[in-house]
Structure 1
Amino acid sequence: MDVECMVTVVAAESGMSETLPVSLATTVKELTDFSTAMLGLSGNVQLYKDGSPLDPNKTLQQAGVKNGDLLAAQKVAAAAAPPPPAPATVGGLDFSAMLANATSAAAPVAAAPASGGLDFTNLIIGQQLNNKTNNAEPVYYPGMTLNDALDHNTNPEHIVTLLQTREHLFKELNYHQPVLANKLRNQPYQKAVQIWREEILKGGIQSAMSHNNTQLKEQEYRQRLEKNPNDKEAKEYFDSQKREQQVREQYFQMMQEYPESLGRVLMLYIEAKMNGHSVQAFVDSGAQNTIMSKKTATMCGIMDLLDTRFRGVAVGVGTGTILGRVHIVQLQVGDYFFPCTITIMDDPPPGSEAKDMPFLLGLDMLKRHTCSIDLENQVLKFRLAPGKYLETPFLHEKDLDESQGGTKGFDAEKSNLELAELQRKHEEEEDKKDGDSKME
């Protein structure tokens, strides 16, 4: 559906206004219903142009509405229409109290004609911006992500309640949208709800247009299938919709029953020492050999033991240069020492995308020392004697650097400030693009 004109609707009593992109084929009633929701009006509303009421059964084109027109929205009594309101001055766009009492936003609206016009039937935004929904309490389940919270809580009051009572949801919001999180942080409940409404309304019109286009597309494909049940394109469209619905249902079931599936898997590391130097060994039963980087080997003082006859090129997921091999070096785990053979890899060149692996305990040494990975107890076991084992725990996130998937040394405040600055620049660029498009 092509947008043919821009009209500004102003609430005669409050002076609040909204500039809306509409088709001239839109009926006056459709525009009235949408304006009622957007401006937070209730009861019977009548649109006026130049002091004259517009016929709700006519299209905007039939009613003489043109691009750039200013329309007034006035509440009227059910018995008879009131006299035309005095012209209202538009004070610019004001989102602060929009839809505060828009109980009529969720009311059903007649479907748009096939020729064009806005169709607001079941419009999601009408539910999002309504103060009260059928659910008295917000929807929440353990493991719920922020996206799921937004999907299942269309009432701004509900989502603000969750953000203020579920710390992990606010942390996720702070990670993805630090600017919005800073606006909401430490705000009183009602103020936070108001801020959330304003953020929703920034993209309200675009959401409405997108929703309407989707409905028109679906209606078109249904008509094509009625005429030709073998229409390949229409069948593929509905098959795709069905698959997406199944994926969404599975996702929702997974989040209810297996929420840990979306968690980040921390790799297995143990604390060890070599020549008195502390090292964190990455336990990798999928690696054929035990390897160490040149940098780590130099730190541990074992480069003098390097046998360069074993130079070569390692080929696997990536490639790397093998400098040689250290045949026997003592790896200390706890109070015990285990002889290890280590392949020394050259460090990746500066600027390379290759990932540096300081120390990897591979399958060769795991088998030599009859190790077993006990995930139930989160330990690596070294067999010392029949029935006797050394158990060393796997490290936690707090013990590992960011390069190893951990959080040691992570500066959350600095990271949030960087994200906030990037988002601020992005919003400025988007606002500039919107301003340029309106000037055109």
Structure 2
Amino acid sequence: MKITVMTSDERFVSLDVDADELVENVKALLEVETQIPLHQQQLLHHGRELPNSHKLNAAGIVDNDLLMLVAAAPPPTSTSGSGGGNEMALNADGSAVNPSAFMSRLKRDPQAMKFLFERNPDIAGAVHSNNVSALQGFLRQVHQQKLDLQRRQQEEIALMNADPFDLDAQKRIEESIRQRNIDENWEAAVEHNPEAFASVIMLYVDMEVNGFPLKAFIDSGAQMTIISRTCAERCGLLRLLDKRYVGVARGVGQTEIVGRIHVAPLKIGDHFYPCSFTVLDQPNPEFIFGLDMLRKHQCSIDLKDNVLRVGGGEIAVPFLQEKDIPRHFHQDEVKPSASTSVLPAPAAAAPQASSDLEAKATRLMALGFDRPSALEALRLCNGNEEQAASYLFGG
């Protein structure tokens, strides 16, 4: 008959044996396949260990059954010295019997230390620094993880051999399969997509507003270009604040709009561009370069070359590295006020008489644009006809 044996490291070994074969003989075959010494093997069926003297059929094993192979740790031995194989002996809880000898033995083996630094840097660090208590703690933790894995594997084997018509057993099997898929997906992500577990650094570039340097947050999800009131004051722009454009900016949170600065010089690289700002009554983020100005100045975010291209690509400004971004900027990124989906409140639009708006839309339509586009451009430019025309012409 055929049996399948699953090892503790999730390998599967298929064997073709006689039904009346002794368990001890099966272990001998497994020693060849797995390199696990026979005396350290524990062969489990339905969570119960099979004695070496039993025959397979007498133990209730049938064709195509699944068994579990667990490698038992060698029994701890008393160590009065630090020589021989006793250097690596472990207690029942996984800790080293002689931690000093254990660390010395590892330090004498460069390959073992290299493996530890790659696979378990915590243990490697404890060995390197001669931290006995930390080493023992990590060894116990690894041992407990191994026991938990063996327990879960035994539970899986028991579920696989459960009554197929037992609804509760089927639900547990389904949950076990689902959790295994999640674990495998996580392991694949750690191996092939490790950056997904790191924090994402937002896009900032160096700019100058009215001659004052600042670090601009590039946000294509923000409808407006935003400057904080404190930043506008530092740049000497509050004297140009138009308070008719008050309102509320809504996104993940909401913030009061205290007005608008219609135009100011913005330096990107070595070039100057006219820029309009919505002023918010909050200190951070101090400056967001939003979609309105990104479109107006034909900007593109080039993540391949890690640059912001402006003016259709005529200049390229590199995005800042993490070390160049002030620490408090990282904290502000998660606040509602720094939302990348800031939308202007209706109150932020400048008051326009209906007839005046219609007249401006008519003049824009005379330039060859349809009515919806003309009205939308006027809305985005807060009724400024010249800016709306420039926007429609792609300037």
Q: TM-score, normalised by structure 2?
A: 0.52
User: CA 1:266/1:207 → structure 2, altered by over 3 Å: closer, same or farther?
Assistant: closer
Cα distance between partner residues in 1 of 2:143 and 2:193? 36
1:298 partnered with 2:233: yes
Cα distance between partner residues in 2 of 1:123 and 1:257? 30
Match for residue 138 of structure 2 among 182, 196, 200:
200
Match for residue 370 of structure 1 among 298, 301, 304:
298
Is there any run of 5+ residues in structure 2 with no aligned partner, and where? 1-35, 50-67, 77-84, 90-108, 332-395
**Which residue of the partner structure matches residue 395 of structure 1?**
320
1:289 partnered with 2:224: yes
Deviations 1:257-306 (A, max 9, x none): 44444443321111011122211111111110001122222222212211
Cα distance between partner residues in 1 of 2:327 and 2:124? 24
**Which residue of the partner structure matches residue 41 of structure 2?**
108
User: CA 1:403/1:370 → structure 2, altered by over 3 Å: closer, same or farther?
Assistant: same
1:331 partnered with 2:269: no
Cα distance between partner residues in 2 of 1:404 and 1:124? 52
Amino acid corresponding to residue 228 of structure 2 in structure 1: S
Q: TM-score, normalised by structure 1?
A: 0.47
Amino acid corresponding to residue 114 of structure 2 in structure 1: T
User: CA 1:379/1:205 → structure 2, altered by over 3 Å: closer, same or farther?
Assistant: closer
Cα distance between partner residues in 1 of 2:230 and 2:302? 30
User: CA 1:211/1:314 → structure 2, altered by over 3 Å: closer, same or farther?
Assistant: same
Match for residue 255 of structure 2 among 320, 328, 332:
320
Amino acid corresponding to residue 311 of structure 1 in structure 2: V
**Which residue of the partner structure matches residue 34 of structure 1?**
none
User: CA 1:365/1:208 → structure 2, altered by over 3 Å: closer, same or farther?
Assistant: closer
After TM superposition, list the pairs within 5 Å mapping 1:185-196 onto structure 2.
186-187=128-129, 191=130
Aligned-partner SS, 2:305: coil
- Contact in 1 for aligned 2:224/2:290 (Cα 8 Å): yes
1:344 Cα deviation from its structure 2 partner? 1.0
1:279 partnered with 2:214: yes
Deviations 1:84-122 (A, max 9, x none): xxxxxxxxxxxxxxxxxxx98981236499799xxxx75
- Contact in 2 for aligned 1:123/1:208 (Cα 8 Å): no
Is there any run of 5+ residues in structure 1 with no aligned partner, and where? 1-102, 133-155, 174-179, 349-355, 407-440
Cα distance between partner residues in 1 of 2:39 and 2:305? 53
Deviations 1:335-378 (A, max 9, x none): 22111111111117xxxxxxx31110000001111111122221
Amino acid corresponding to residue 298 of structure 1 in structure 2: E
RMSD, matched Cα? 4.1
Cα distance between partner residues in 2 of 1:122 and 1:267? 49
- Contact in 1 for aligned 2:40/2:72 (Cα 8 Å): no
Point out the structure with the larger helix share: 2
Instruction: Kindly tell me the number of residue pairs found equivalent between the two proteins.
Output: 248
After TM superposition, list the pairs within 5 Å mapping 1:30-429 onto structure 2.
107-109=40-42, 111=44, 126=73, 131=88, 160-162=113-115, 164=117, 183-184=126-127, 186-187=128-129, 191=130, 197-203=135-141, 207=145, 210=148, 214=152, 217-218=155-156, 221-222=159-160, 225-226=162-163, 229-347=164-282, 356-383=284-311, 389-405=314-330
Question: Rg larger in 1 or in 2?
Answer: 2
Cα distance between partner residues in 2 of 1:106 and 1:312? 79
Aligned-partner SS, 2:224: coil
- Contact in 2 for aligned 1:106/1:122 (Cα 8 Å): no
